[in-house]
Structure 1
Amino acid sequence: MKLYVYVLVLLSFMAFGVNAQTFPSELWHEGQVNLTDGSVKSGNIKYDLDRQTVQLKIGQRNETYDASQVTSFSFLQESINARRMFYSLPYAIQNNYRRPVFFEVVVTGKMTLLAREYVVVRSNNTPSSLNSRYRYLDYSGFNGSRSYLSYKMFFAKEDGTIRESSGKKNDVLYQFGEARSELKKYVKKEKLKLDRLEDVAKLVEYYNKEIN
């Protein structure tokens, strides 16, 4: 499926919204679901990337769709005033069996950056250098731990190939083939940390705009 270009809104690593005890996937958001039968439905959305499902609330009625029934969905996350876009794309999570999986679109172009969020539990004495890798911080842990929202990063090429990145510098640069030497200079110049989604997004945008 072709990924349509939309305005990228990147977030710095920040505490989530008004209620720091709640992650975005636990809230209802005003949005839209595009189904594989061509129909479009609007209402309040709650998503679950682990179960690959989207719940849609229209008035008093709740509907649930899995990734095989959805082409895309989007919603406005009011806490950050940004519209987030997800596509259902074929991907082999395990056993080399390809099935529809939800990915969030971060940057589109000849190289597309995708992401999947997940919750990480860390002890309170985790070094701050590690904590800085996560976008949202839940301060509600009373048992010596905190929950963080982190991301797995994926690269999608124009031929439809999707590959997960480990977030390690060499692995990220490997995705760009012959351009990696030039991009390595850009990473050094801009002091990018390639285990951070926001910095990888900057790298992908630079590649799409500046390198032929």
Structure 2
Amino acid sequence: MKSKYGFVLMAMLFATMGLAQRSDRLFPSELWHKGYMVLMSGDTLKAQIKYDFDNNAALLRHKGTIFSYSTRKILNFEIHDVTSDTYREFFALPYAVRDNYKVPYLFEVLYEGPLTLLSREKVAEETTIHNSGYSSYYSQQPYFTVTEKKLVFDYYILNMKGDIRPVTMRKKDLLQSMRKHSSEIKRYMKRNKLKLTKQEDLVRLVAYYNDLEESGARR
């Protein structure tokens, strides 16, 4: 006969296993990717690249030697992401951290046009509560928590004037950046049930806006 404590121990074991599985995951910014970098000096470097949004920098590894470059020296770079098997492009762009003061920030370009969609990513921790499915006189709280790391994205809009504005996830703020075609954008969002929290939906919105802009320019 199994001890009543065995169920509790098994639940704790599964929780620990789940936590370990989540913690072992490596994110794109933690890995080396094949690519090339163009420096402000005009030099192009082919090497393995690791990007760092937190410090607005990138590391290059070439023949066993690692070099560090800040966004003050980087023009842009492209990598072949080993986690998604896709090519990704990054630029160092002047971003206003306060009035009349800009510093070069690292951004990924998701969609380019009259309006360009940019992003920055970070690894954040998220804690969720799970039910172990077992309770008894000895265990009045049959719950356990699992903390996992996940990618979180911040999005930005770059206009033709060179201004970069964050996407706040409020529709009225996004429409302000797209005010020239705000009526069409609102109808497009409603018709296609697009959400500002989804990257693919943001890409579709920016692409649609750019199509409207380019169609108007051809008239």
Instruction: Indicate which of 181, 184, 193 corresponds to 2:183.
Output: 181
For the 8 Å contact 2:108–2:119, the answer to whether it is kept is yes
* Most deviating of 98-107 and 170-179: 170-179
For the 8 Å contact 2:129–2:145, the answer to whether it is kept is no
For the 8 Å contact 1:167–1:196, the answer to whether it is kept is no
Per the alignment, residue 50 of structure 1 pairs with 54
- Structure 2 portions without partners, runs of 5+: 1-22, 131-143
Residue-by-residue CA offset, 1:102-159 (whole Å, 9 max, x unaligned) = 1100011111100011122221149xxxxxxxxxxxxxxx962121101111001111
Per the alignment, residue 98 of structure 1 pairs with 102
Say which one has the larger Rg. Answer: 2
Residue-by-residue CA offset, 1:37-96 (whole Å, 9 max, x unaligned) = 000001100111101111101112111100000000110012211100000001123575
Paired AA for residue 116 in structure 2: T
Aligned CA RMSD, in angstroms, stands at 1.9
Instruction: Provide the C-alpha distance between the structure 1 equivalents of 2:60 and 2:98, rounded to a whole number of angstroms.
Output: 28
Instruction: Indicate which of 146, 149, 152 corresponds to 1:147.
Output: 149
Paired AA for residue 104 in structure 2: P
Per the alignment, residue 198 of structure 1 pairs with 200
Per the alignment, residue 129 of structure 1 pairs with none
Paired AA for residue 40 in structure 1: T
For the 8 Å contact 2:36–2:78, the answer to whether it is kept is yes
Give 3-state SS (helix, strand or coil) of 2:95's partner: strand
Instruction: Provide the C-alpha distance between the structure 2 equivalents of 1:95 and 1:27, rounded to a whole number of angstroms.
Output: 35
Give 3-state SS (helix, strand or coil) of 1:199's partner: helix
Instruction: Indicate which of 15, 23, 26 corresponds to 1:22.
Output: 26
Instruction: Provide the C-alpha distance between the structure 2 equivalents of 1:181 and 1:64, rounded to a whole number of angstroms.
Output: 46
Paired AA for residue 195 in structure 2: K
- Structure 1 portions without partners, runs of 5+: 1-18, 127-141
> TM (normalized to structure 1)?
0.79
Instruction: Provide the C-alpha distance between the structure 1 equivalents of 2:35 and 2:52, rounded to a whole number of angstroms.
Output: 15
Instruction: Provide the C-alpha distance between the structure 2 equivalents of 1:32 and 1:184, rounded to a whole number of angstroms.
Output: 39
Per the alignment, residue 3 of structure 1 pairs with none
Percent of aligned pairs with the same amino acid: 34
Q: CA separation of 1:20/1:210 partners in 2, compared to 1, >3 Å: closer, same or farther?
A: farther
Give 3-state SS (helix, strand or coil) of 1:144's partner: strand
Runs of 4+ in 1 over 6 A off after TM superposition: none
> TM (normalized to structure 2)?
0.77
